[in-house]
Structure 1
């Protein structure tokens, strides 16, 4: 039994100074063994998760979803172009009617 105590190596835990802790860029675990991060280390995904926003990374989507979202985006742009075209034609028609009324009223005076 005395041999077991002599052969085991017991290392003392190392303590970091305050400057070492501040400058440390590696993984830090809390008492529960979970990753502990400072506010400086928090990236966009973590901030979004805390705010309740789900971030979708386009590189992680399957191909069929990329095609579907691309087609939906192109469809939205086409609908937007049609709406702008109808607004342009509608305002042109109103302008043409206003010009016709103005010309007729000038001729009837």
Structure 2
């Protein structure tokens, strides 16, 4: 009986392996689709917007939010950022724990290549 089970299992595995390339493609497609759908759901739930890209050297963020910070605090104040081509330096000042680092991270997240949605 054990020999028969092993033979059936071996045959099944060999048949499945014949289609391993197709199965891997299907699995990868399903994983990618799952990621995209999850991002779409989160984007809709949190009112994320797609960036408007232009040829101009301008960064204009209105009501920008830091995703992780917003999830972990009771209140979060959105920030605007405007950087034009003729401005090369922006100085950020404020007391300790006033949000300077969060603001810088928030703006830098908008520059990441893998950011699908901006907040």
In the superposition, the TM-score normalised over structure 1's length comes to 0.32
Bigger relative contact order (CA 8 A; separation at least 6): 2
Please identify which structure carries the higher helix content.
Answer: 1
Higher gyration radius (CA): 1
